[in-house]
Structure 1
Amino acid sequence: MAPNTEKIDQGQTEEQLDLGKLAREVGANYLVYPDVKYPPLEPFEHKDPGHLADPKKASLFNHADKIYDLTPHVGTVIEGLQLSTLTDQQKNDLALLAADRGVVFFKKQELNPYQAVEFGRYFGRLHTHNYAGHPPGLPEIVSILYDEKNPATVAAIESKRTSDGIHTDISYEKQPAGLSILKIDLLPSTGGDTIWWSGYSAYDRLSPAMQKFVEGLSAVHTGDYHKRLAKLSGRTIRREFPPDTIHPVVRTHPVTGWKSLFVQPVFTKSIVGMTKHESDAILNFLYNHIAGGYDFSVRFKWEEGSVAIWDNRCTLHAAIFDYFDQGRRHGYRVTPTAEVPFYDPNSKSKKQAEQEAPEKVSSRHDQ
């Protein structure tokens, strides 16, 4: 049984913090970077709440004011429900909906960071970041705040294209992120959108020959990018990064049973068994295939108080850093981890599943 690393606590405070207010007043100065060492993560058995869901997701659909899809392949909005008051069955159904639709958006949420931590624990063991700053007393929180006055931050971001930042969260871990839960509570006057891509559709849009080829591949994932950021900022690495991990290029989602493309430019390093030239050629092709997937992506324009819950096992995402001359953008993320990624050769693509049993996987639920 893994140690309860999600309970690691540094920088305790007796009062509950309003992170949005702090971000407005002092920017990133509210963050703490404790000079401590966390124990290494140990294997654990992940029990996905999506397995307990009602296939019709009635506990959500029958109680929301409105539910609608933003695009055909990824992204659904739920209005009229508060995440802080969801029942266990509603959480189970939400896990399934996120697995089906990739990312689910909730508007006008009252969820505070303490509630977000407890909410996230329902979906898996929470990840505590290796080096990122966190609010006092909340090491499970990753604060999303890029300070426009920090030259190192600006230089790190402006040197890249947005497509270079496409990723799934912490894929370098042996058991990477399952869901990610992000609330935005401070926005610039304009800008700061986020894009998600469907990993299911990214696989489906490959030719049958390419699908067959990539299904047999594994890729190396590394934490080198986060190591470089830690060095750039001069921050302590509180848990040593794991050795490079190997995950399948196509993974099977444990709840839906569908195949999803699982490589990305931030943490994927190379293809196992290939020369550098071969690996680079295949990975660059797949990265460009994903980045060019306008027909299987969704761009979300945040509102203050909105929450996005996405499934890293079947989506990729990237923030758009176009707002530094417009003001600050702030939010906080909680990251439940999940199973070791796997590929089941008997699994199906989403397209195949829809063709064989469309009534079982129909994702249209406009109300």
Structure 2
Amino acid sequence: MAPSISETPIAEIVIPVQKNHDDLETKPKVRRVLEEEGGKTTATYPEYLPTWDHSEKYSALLPFTHVDHGKDADRSFKDLLPEGTTIQKLTPTIGSEVTGIQLSKLDSAGKDQLALLVAQRKVVAFRDQDLADLPIQEALNFGGYFGRHHIHPTSGSPEGYPEIHLVHRNNNAWEFDQYLAEKNSSVSWHSDVTYEQQPPGTTILYLLDGPDVGGDTVFVDQVEAYKRLSPAIKERLHGLRAVHSGVEQAENSQKRGGVVRREPVTNEHPLVRTHPVTGEKALFVNAGFTRSIVGLKKEESDALLGFLLAHVSRGIDYQARIRWAPKTVVIWDNRVTAHSAIIDWTTGERRHLARITPQAERPYETPYVPEDDKQ
């Protein structure tokens, strides 16, 4: 894939380790869902079925300069939302649904406006899209416009395309019972891979297979969550940093016999980050990867972090639920949202999605200004 002129090519950042092909007995195992399903899968897109190659190893990610294309976008959205397009808000602050355009046909101006719209609305669902029907490399070319591709350290990917992160579940009843054996709910709020030094921004997820009913994804607006806090709490949060860790994810993968393609990392990020396009401030904490607040004692850190995570999770008035349907593409801004899949169907239907995960800038904050609370 030809990289954007504003991005560092991934080949310069992620270097595969030489695979062992000399001895079949010592060759690392490659797990393929297609083989496990006997080669006669019911998957609509078998080329997207997950593989896990234990011989894939990548070096640490290095910093790169990210340019957000939403900064210079035409705010009339004339190239993204021409006459005949429909756009419907799902809630006042977060979520929109668009019909009447084809994302894969957008030119650069349209994609710039797409980045801006997603930054403003936080998550946008596009119906009747052809992204899943394109060759995988063409889908990656589309996603690569928005940033350097992230290769997930533990997830399954289509064979030969490690830049694609796959969500895949054949949800038989026993799997559902097993998943909820120690949980009362499947809700698991997270923002994707925030343990990276430069976490993702404009993120793309498209449906391959899904149940007729169920398997929705819910998103929360972390900008609105920040706005709801009192001025005193806002002021206290500014300047604080939190530890985001990928260590536990890697350990869990190893315990299950899964892959770990890259050594796990931890990074510190501000509790409140500023969006480079909208200038909005957002809480930047999530239950999936935020572990502690730097400089606070454990009891203090646990209490403050617990409050913030509860504040995010119970904010039904700043959350949007996306219902999946065939040919749906959902694009969200990972910098200012958290999300959770909803595992609520027991009919045995496959839930299979592909994610393209462009990285963005390193999180930063701008100073707290009391006047902001008066607006």
The reply on whether 1:53 has 2:73 as its aligned counterpart is yes
SS at match of 1:285: helix
Rounded to whole Å, the distance in 1 between the matches of 2:194 and 2:116 is 21
Paired residues of 2:16 and 2:57 also in contact (CA < 8 A): no
Paired residues of 2:202 and 2:333 also in contact (CA < 8 A): yes
Q: Which residue of 1 is the match for residue 35 of structure 2? A: none
Q: Which residue of 1 is the match for residue 206 of structure 2? A: 183
Counterpart AA for 2:77:
K
Counterpart AA for 2:322:
F
Q: Which residue of 2 is the match for residue 125 of structure 1? A: 148
The reply on whether 1:218 has 2:253 as its aligned counterpart is no
SS at match of 2:234: helix
The reply on whether 1:87 has 2:110 as its aligned counterpart is no
Residue 149 of structure 1 deviates from its aligned partner by 5.2
Structure 1 77/29 Cα, relative in aligned 2: closer, same or farther at 3 Å?
closer
Q: 1:62 aligns with which of 66, 71, 82?
A: 82
1:111-134 Cα shifts (integer Å, max 9, x gaps) = 133332111100000001112111
Q: 1:38 aligns with which of 44, 51, 58?
A: 58
Q: Which residue of 2 is the match for residue 249 of structure 1? A: 271
Structure 1 300/347 Cα, relative in aligned 2: closer, same or farther at 3 Å?
farther
Rounded to whole Å, the distance in 2 between the matches of 1:349 and 1:83 is 39
Q: 1:236 aligns with which of 253, 259, 270?
A: 259
Structure 1 161/44 Cα, relative in aligned 2: closer, same or farther at 3 Å?
farther
SS at match of 2:71: helix
The reply on whether 1:141 has 2:160 as its aligned counterpart is no
Counterpart AA for 2:120:
D
Q: Which residue of 1 is the match for residue 23 of structure 2? A: none
Paired residues of 1:252 and 1:343 also in contact (CA < 8 A): yes
Residue 158 of structure 1 deviates from its aligned partner by 5.1
1:283-329 Cα shifts (integer Å, max 9, x gaps) = 11111111111111101111111110000111111110112444221
SS at match of 2:255: helix
Rounded to whole Å, the distance in 2 between the matches of 1:254 and 1:190 is 37
Residue 145 of structure 1 deviates from its aligned partner by 0.5
Q: Note the residue ranges of structure 2 that are not aligned, 5 or more in a row.
A: 1-7, 20-29, 31-39
SS at match of 1:180: strand
Rounded to whole Å, the distance in 2 between the matches of 1:334 and 1:119 is 9
Paired residues of 2:223 and 2:281 also in contact (CA < 8 A): yes
| Residue correspondences, number | 343
The reply on whether 1:336 has 2:355 as its aligned counterpart is no
SS at match of 1:201: helix
SS at match of 1:283: helix
Structure 1 334/29 Cα, relative in aligned 2: closer, same or farther at 3 Å?
closer
Counterpart AA for 2:305:
L
Q: 1:327 aligns with which of 346, 349, 353?
A: 349
Higher mean C-alpha deviation, range 298-307 or range 320-329 = 320-329
Structure 1 26/258 Cα, relative in aligned 2: closer, same or farther at 3 Å?
closer
Q: Note the residue ranges of structure 1 that are not aligned, 5 or more in a row.
A: 12-20, 356-367
Scaled by the length of structure 1, the TM-score of the pair is 0.85
Paired residues of 1:259 and 1:348 also in contact (CA < 8 A): no
Structure 1 153/314 Cα, relative in aligned 2: closer, same or farther at 3 Å?
same
Q: 2:217 aligns with which of 179, 194, 215?
A: 194
Counterpart AA for 2:76:
K
Structure 1 29/300 Cα, relative in aligned 2: closer, same or farther at 3 Å?
closer
Counterpart AA for 1:275:
K
Rounded to whole Å, the distance in 1 between the matches of 2:370 and 2:14 is 34
Rounded to whole Å, the distance in 2 between the matches of 1:38 and 1:348 is 45
Q: Which residue of 2 is the match for residue 315 of structure 1? A: 337
